[in-house]
């Protein structure tokens, strides 16, 4: 049995709709935990849903048109997004990529992002559609976040205190070896690396938004050894805390999505929980 009559029926229905009706209604009624955006082949935003452009610090949806990730994110983070986009624009979709993204308040959140290429009338790739799920605010049943949710929440609430791997394994209901393997397999970082990222991003927020001394900031974020803190900051941020403060002190709030760092540490100097 041919599907042609069905396809013709759908075509007739769609042609009868007001221009952009489907897209506008979709953007208007997406759940609050989903970020939706469209980019053209030059990495420029063409549209997004409200929660996305508000998160970028904009007051109207039209303001996002023509902007790029460089307008909203620190250079290293923007470059990471561009690299992903380039792969998608070459024709390879990105499906459910787990992303660890710094937040404006200096902590980190977990997201799953799917990006798929879209084609123009000539058949060539004209841009991409991006759909990002906020795993924390969604209280998603999606693994791995659901399993590790008590662990993540404990770290976010107690990062300034000594935290031991054994505590986290108990919160996850796993043996220590299994927890360590599972955490690294699912999140591509060790528990110690994740804690270090949280602490470093807290220091970024405090450096950029307060006049507190660097020593006090290190202690407030959970770094009890100042020299170790400075070494880790330089390694993962690419500059000293003092240089960071000078560079980002007056940056608007919507651009304070501080980088997590791109250096992959060797096992010898991987941050440890303490």
pLDDT of res. 136:
66
CA dist., res. 210 & res. 217, Å (int): 9
**Strand extents, DSSP E, the chain:** 34-40, 45-48, 94-102, 108-119, 125-134
Domain 4-135 = CATH 3.30.450.20? yes
Q: Which residues of the chain carry a pLDDT beneath 50?
A: 1, 254-269
pLDDT of res. 260:
41
Domain at 145-269: CATH code: 1.10.10.60
Calculate what percentage of the chain has a pLDDT beyond 70: 81
CA dist., res. 69 & res. 74, Å (int): 9
Boundaries of every domain in the chain: 4-135, 145-269
pLDDT of res. 102:
61
Q: Is the entire prediction scored with pTM above 0.75?
A: no
pLDDT of res. 265:
39
Distance set, CA 21 to CA 15, 36, 45, 207, 218 (Å): 11, 16, 19, 45, 51
> Which of 65, 45, 123 lies closest to 91, judged by CA?
123
């Amino acid at each position: 049995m041919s599907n042609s009559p069905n396809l013709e029926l759908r075509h007739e229905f769609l042609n009868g709709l007001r221009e952009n009706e489907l897209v506008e209604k979709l953007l208007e009624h997406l759940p609050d935990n989903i970020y939706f955006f469209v980019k053209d082949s030059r990495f420029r935003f063409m549209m997004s849903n409200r929660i996305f452009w508000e998160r970028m610090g904009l007051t109207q949806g039209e303001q996002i048109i023509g902007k790029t990730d460089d307008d909203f994110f620190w250079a290293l983070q923007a470059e990471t997004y561009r690299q992903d986009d380039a792969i998608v624009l070459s024709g390879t979709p990105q499906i459910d990529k787990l992303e660890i993204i710094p937040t404006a308040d200096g902590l980190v959140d977990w997201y799953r992002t799917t990006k798929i290429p879209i084609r123009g009338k000539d058949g060539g790739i004209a841009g991409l559609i991006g759909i990002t799920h906020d795993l924390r605010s969604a209280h998603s049943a999606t693994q791995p976040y659901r399993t590790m949710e008590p662990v993540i929440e404990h770290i976010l609430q107690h990062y300034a205190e000594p935290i031991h791997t054994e505590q986290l394994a108990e919160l996850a209901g796993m043996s220590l070896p299994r927890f360590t393997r599972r955490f690294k397999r699912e999140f591509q970082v060790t528990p110690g690396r994740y804690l270090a990222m949280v602490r470093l991003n807290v220091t970024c927020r405090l450096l950029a938004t307060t006049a507190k001394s660097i020593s006090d900031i290190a202690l407030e974020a959970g770094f009890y050894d100042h020299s170790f803190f400075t070494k880790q900051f330089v390694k993962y941020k690419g500059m000293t805390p003092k240089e960071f403060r000078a560079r980002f002190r007056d940056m608007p709030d919507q651009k304070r999505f501080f980088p997590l760092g791109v250096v992959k540490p060797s096992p010898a100097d991987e941050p440890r929980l303490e």
